[in-house]
């Protein structure tokens, strides 16, 4: 588990370096082709750097509020959702976060969840009403631990920065290609003569090639980072709960639900614990532009951590089974009803006193049969 965490962190930073290198190469090539020479390349690269920093600051401070608003999330208190709030508090303590994140609920039948916020002091966790309805407490712990792992690992900040850099690459490339088209690929290199003109022409060709390929490569790297951070959050979540099966069963419930999340879109899909878009949750292999790894592969890794087989995913009744007959029909085990305060141990007195206030009398002789 710990090696999985270290490996995913190394891979994420390596991919982040690739995005920065792509932005630098594209900026330099366009500057050299447009302005001319090394000075032009470095000058335009500096301009792009300033714009990227300004854009990053705006996204850093306002991104979480925009995501929550777009998702239709509603702020809840302990009185509104006591079990959810208690689980968030428990996992906050386990993760060592300085304060409990704000808790939100999205009114949607599809089970899913996400976390957002620039740091642990400004974090929020949002779950759907469908997830609360379908999952038991252990599964809810697994989901919340996964999301708070994103907060603990600063994944939201990391993803925001990568997204801004990738957006910069796409906008710069689009602007340059449009400028080249409408100017007839004129540029400075077309007007100059001699070796300087030849050099600028080479830079122009390189810049156009990068403007076409860099956005595709940047998006592929961004989605690869997103997949790595999901694996990292799974492993860190298990570190918090010490219960791989809780998260494995939660992912199994999410994978088995056919509904897509109505409020999700391509811009916010990468934030969720599983891809919320239609037809994406049950994919068996990850494509180059997928934001999440295959959910069955994540479940298999969690089962290996628990030294358990696939049968462990269906143990016990589902909270959504209002009638035990429904659970039996679905092939899930239903424990026998308890005759007293302790499930499965008939004959023992209730733990809590009856409503009258006086404790139940202790039997003269305890006998377990």
Is 115 in contact with 101 (CB distance < 8 Å)? Answer: yes
Q: How many CB atoms lie within 10 A of CB 73?
A: 23
- For residue 78, give the nearest of 107, 106, 102 by alpha carbon: 102
Q: Are 315 and 306 in contact (CB under 8 A)?
A: no
Q: Of 89, 90, 107, 147, which one is the catalytic site residue?
A: 147
3 belongs to the catalytic site? no
* 217, 225 contact by CB (below 8 A): no
Token pair 């060592």 is found at: 96
Query: Which two tokens mark 60?
Result: 């850093």
DSSP state of 4: H
- Contact predicate 139/241, CB 8 Å: no
Contacts of 27 (CB under 8 A, 6+ apart): 41, 44, 45, 48, 49, 172
Task: Locate 17 and state its tokens.
Answer: 């370096």
Check residue 36 and report its DSSP letter.
I
* Phi, psi of 223, deg, nearest 5: -70, -30
Q: How many Å apart are CA 152 and CA 115, to the nearest integer?
A: 11
CB 142 within 8 A of CB 242: no
Q: Checking DSSP bridges between strand 102-106 and strand 113-116, what pairing results, if any?
A: unpaired
List C-alpha distances in Å: 78 to 91, 103, 126, 138, 202: 15, 9, 14, 19, 64
Coarse DSSP helix, strand, coil percentages of the chain, rounded to the nearest 5 percent = 60, 5, 35
* Residues tagged active-site: 147
């Amino acid at each position: 588990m710990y090696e999985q965490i270290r490996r995913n962190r190394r891979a994420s930073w390596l991919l982040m370096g690739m995005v920065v290198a792509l932005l630098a190469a594209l900026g330099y090539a366009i500057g050299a082709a447009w302005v001319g020479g090394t000075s032009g390349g470095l000058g335009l690269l500096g301009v792009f750097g300033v714009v990227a920093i300004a854009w990053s600051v705006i996204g850093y401070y306002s991104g979480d509020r925009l995501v929550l608003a777009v998702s239709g999330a509603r702020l809840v208190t302990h009185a509104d959702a006591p079990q959810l709030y208690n689980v968030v508090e428990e996992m906050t303590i386990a993760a060592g976060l300085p304060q409990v994140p704000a808790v939100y609920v999205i009114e949607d039948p599809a089970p899913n969840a996400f976390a957002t916020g620039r740091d642990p002091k400004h974090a929020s966790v949002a779950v759907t009403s469908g997830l609360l309805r379908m999952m038991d407490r252990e599964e809810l712990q697994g989901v919340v631990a996964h999301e708070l792992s994103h907060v603990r690992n600063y994944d939201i900040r990391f993803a925001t920065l990568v997204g801004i850099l990738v957006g910069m690459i796409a906008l710069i490339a689009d602007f340059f290609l449009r400028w080249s088209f409408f100017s007839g690929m004129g540029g400075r290199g077309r007007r100059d003569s001699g070796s300087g003109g030849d050099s600028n022409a080479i830079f122009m060709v390189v810049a156009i090639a990068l403007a076409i390929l860099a956005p595709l490569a940047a998006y592929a790297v961004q989605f690869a980072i997103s997949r790595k951070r999901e694996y990292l959050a799974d492993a860190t979540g298990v570190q918090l709960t010490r219960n791989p099966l809780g998260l494995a069963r939660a992912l199994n419930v999410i994978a088995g639900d056919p509904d897509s999340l109505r409020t999700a879109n391509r811009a916010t899909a990468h934030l969720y614990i599983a891809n919320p878009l239609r037809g994406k949750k049950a994919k068996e292999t990850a494509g180059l532009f997928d934001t999440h790894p295959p959910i069955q592969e994540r479940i298999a890794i969690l089962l290996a951590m628990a030294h358990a087989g696939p049968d462990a995913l269906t143990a016990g009744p589902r909270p959504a089974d209002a009638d035990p007959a429904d659970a039996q029909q679905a092939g899930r085990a239903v424990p026998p009803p308890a005759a007293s305060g302790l499930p499965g141990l008939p004959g023992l007195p209730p733990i809590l006193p009856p409503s009258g206030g006086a404790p139940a009398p202790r039997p003269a002789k305890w006998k377990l049969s």
